[in-house]
């Protein structure tokens, strides 16, 4: 199965979440079904529909998400289920993982993270099977700029050596792809490749995710769980967002890396594994070490060799080849003629700064493959798609706003618009003023407001945005 043609289900009684999440997944090229309750989803299952992955909320009227998870797992034990909840208490997260959830997403979440999670969940190697090289070339790293050629050479050299590698780079620069390439080119290629995003798993559960636990290790641990270290035996383990690992686990990881053996949580049997760890981060780990947030000795152990992935804006010459590849893949998987950018659109692409790096370009290409009316993508099509990308629709804040509105409506509040709008304006103004060091003209320009408007709005309340007191 191609991950991109996979069918995903979103089950949530909250309409906003259904719409926003389903749209983000569709934008990433997946087929999506949305259900407002567990029973609707179970009815579709009974009708013979088969999702490849399910997102479900926990608290829903009728059957709740954890009971739904149980029913799903009974009939479809291998179906990955992502449990989402605004309640990140240990009980619900632990309940979710105990029930066999693949991942837990705490609301509000980053939509990119949700999409990345699907990408990680669907490849076959995630199920602990040996990594299989795909013939579609989906894992192939594209790049012909000096920085990328240097990177390819480094991957070739490093793949052979059993050294730990630290991959650094902004989000979406291809760190996971590089880790996969290191694995694929290594003598461990026939072994498994496992990936774990340290930041995506609640701290309380991370230890058991990494090292496994024995039945009875803690309340509710009724079955033995084999951790990712054990699953990756003979292969490679990719630890993403390593900078977010809690201190106690940093200590434990350091010991495991040094000794190559560990106990499962609550276990007495010493487990020996042969795993190559490839860690990744977008953070400045040296700075974290200086602040006391990361162990210096762990950094040294992980950072035997460092591969730095340049942001896409530093290698814009790679944009056309990447775009062509993504459009070709989209065409292939949508069973349609591959679209192409006309010269003016390509030129426009090169001017963009790509804060979301290759992932942003990939999402844009998929969106255009679906939405652009003709086979040739023009600057006009592009402008529309880019405008959507850059709109301040940072979904996390919209979801947060939606839940605030819901809470107020639930409380029976009326006249919501004026106070919320005031709060919105206040955040906007104060942030812009802080950013401009208290310079009103500059803040007004950046916001696209008149200076008088800013003064008027600020006049209504204490000028907290101003840094220096007036002389």
Ligand X SMILES: Nc1ncnc2c1ncn2[C@@H]1O[C@H](COP(=O)(O)OP(=O)(O)OP(=O)(O)O)[C@@H](O)[C@H]1O
Site map (CB under 6 A) of ligand X, residues 317-336, x = contact: -----x--------------
Distance of closest approach, residue 179 Cβ to ligand X, in angstroms:
8
The region of 84-92, 123-131, 174-182, 212-220 touching ligand X under the rule CB under 6 A is: 174-182
Q: Which of 123, 174, 212, 310 binds ligand X (CB under 6 A)?
A: 174
The region of 88-96, 166-174, 226-234, 247-255 touching ligand X under the rule CB under 6 A is: 166-174
Distance of closest approach, residue 355 Cβ to ligand X, in angstroms:
12
Site map (CB under 6 A) of ligand X, residues 125-154, x = contact: ----------------xxx-----------
Q: Are 346 and 320 in contact (CB under 8 A)?
A: yes
Size of the chain, expressed as the number of residues it contains = 471
Whether the ω angle into residue 108 lies within 30 degrees of 0, i.e. cis, is yes
Q: Which of 126, 176, 209, 214 binds ligand X (CB under 6 A)?
A: 176
| Positions 181 through 240 that interact with ligand X (CB under 6 A) | 240
Nearest to 11 by CA among 104, 89, 84, 96: 84
Closest CB to ligand X among residues 239, 386: 239
Site map (CB under 6 A) of ligand X, residues 409-448, x = contact: ----------------------------------------
- Roughly what angle, to the nearest 10 degrees, separates helices 90-98 and 203-211? 30
| Positions 326 through 385 that interact with ligand X (CB under 6 A) | 358-359, 362
Tokens standing for residue 208 = 């058991």
Q: Does 172 bind ligand X (CB under 6 A)?
A: yes
Q: How far is CA 266 from the centre of its chain?
A: 31
Site map (CB under 6 A) of ligand X, residues 252-291, x = contact: ------------------------------x---------
- Roughly what angle, to the nearest 10 degrees, separates helices 15-27 and 111-121? 60
Q: Does 177 bind ligand X (CB under 6 A)?
A: yes
Q: Are 254 and 296 in contact (CB under 8 A)?
A: no
Shortest-Cβ-distance residue relative to ligand X: 174
Please state, in angstroms and rounded to a whole number, the distance separating the CA atoms of residues 451 and 130. 62
Q: Does 310 bind ligand X (CB under 6 A)?
A: no
Q: How far is CA 296 from the centre of its chain?
A: 27
Phi and psi, residue 305, nearest 5°? -135, 140
Q: Does 173 bind ligand X (CB under 6 A)?
A: yes
Q: Which of 85, 93, 168, 171 binds ligand X (CB under 6 A)?
A: 171
Site map (CB under 6 A) of ligand X, residues 46-85, x = contact: ----------------------------------------
Please state, in angstroms and rounded to a whole number, the distance separating the CA atoms of residues 56 and 47. 19
Q: Which of 21, 34, 94, 116 binds ligand X (CB under 6 A)?
A: 116
Size of the site for ligand X (CB under 6 A): 18
Binding region for ligand X (CB under 6 A):
116, 141-143, 169, 171-177, 240, 282, 322, 358-359, 362
């Amino acid at each position: 199965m191609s991950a991109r043609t996979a069918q995903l289900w979103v089950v949530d009684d909250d309409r906003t979440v259904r719409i926003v999440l389903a749209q983000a997944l569709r934008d990433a090229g997946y087929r999506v079904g949305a259900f407002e309750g567990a029973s609707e989803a179970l009815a579709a299952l009974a009708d013979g529909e088969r999702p490849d992955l399910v997102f479900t909320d926990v608290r829903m009227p009728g059957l709740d998400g954890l009971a739904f998870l149980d029913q799903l797992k009974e009939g479809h034990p291998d179906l990955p289920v992502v449990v989402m909840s605004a309640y990140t208490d240990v009980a619900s997260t632990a309940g979710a993982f105990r029930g066999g959830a693949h991942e837990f997403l705490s609301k509000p979440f980053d939509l990119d993270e949700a999409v990345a999670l699907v990408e990680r969940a669907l490849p076959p190697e995630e199920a602990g099977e040996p990594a299989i090289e795909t013939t579609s070339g989906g894992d192939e790293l594209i790049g012909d700029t000096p920085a990328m050629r240097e990177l390819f050479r480094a991957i070739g050299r490093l793949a052979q050596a059993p050294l730990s590698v630290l991959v650094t780079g902004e989000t979406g620069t291809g760190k996971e792809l590089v880790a996969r390439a290191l694995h694929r080119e290594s003598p461990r290629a026939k072994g498994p490749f496992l990936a774990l995003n340290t930041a995506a798993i609640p701290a309380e559960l991370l230890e058991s995710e990494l090292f496994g636990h024995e039945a009875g290790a803690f309340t509710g641990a009724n079955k033995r769980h084999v951790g990712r270290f054990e699953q990756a035996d003979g292969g490679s383990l990719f630890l993403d967002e390593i900078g977010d690992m809690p201190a106690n686990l940093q200590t434990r990881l350091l010991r495991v890396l040094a000794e190559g053996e560990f106990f499962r949580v609550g276990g007495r049997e010493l487990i020996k594994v042969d795993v190559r760890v490839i860690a990744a981060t977008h953070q400045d780990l040296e700075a974290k070490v200086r602040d006391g947030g990361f162990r210096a000795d762990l950094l040294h152990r992980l950072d035997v060799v460092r591969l730095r992935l340049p942001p896409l804006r530093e290698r814009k010459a790679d944009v056309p080849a990447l775009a062509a590849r993504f459009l070709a893949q989209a065409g292939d998987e949508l069973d349609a003629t591959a679209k192409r950018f006309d010269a003016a659109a390509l030129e426009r692409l090169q001017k963009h700064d790509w804060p979301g790096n290759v992932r942003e370009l990939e999402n844009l290409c998929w969106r255009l493959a679906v939405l652009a009316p003709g086979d040739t993508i023009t600057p006009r099509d592009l402008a529309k798609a880019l405008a959507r990308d850059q709109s301040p629709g940072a979904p996390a804040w919209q979801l947060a706003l939606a839940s605030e509105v819901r809470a107020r409506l639930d409380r029976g509040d009326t006249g919501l618009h004026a106070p919320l709008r005031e709060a919105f304006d206040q955040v906007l103004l104060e942030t812009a003023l802080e950013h401009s060091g208290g310079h009103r003209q500059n803040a007004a320009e950046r916001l696209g407001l008149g200076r008088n408007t800013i003064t008027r709005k600020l006049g209504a309340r204490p000028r907290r945005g101003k840094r220096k007191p007036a002389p």
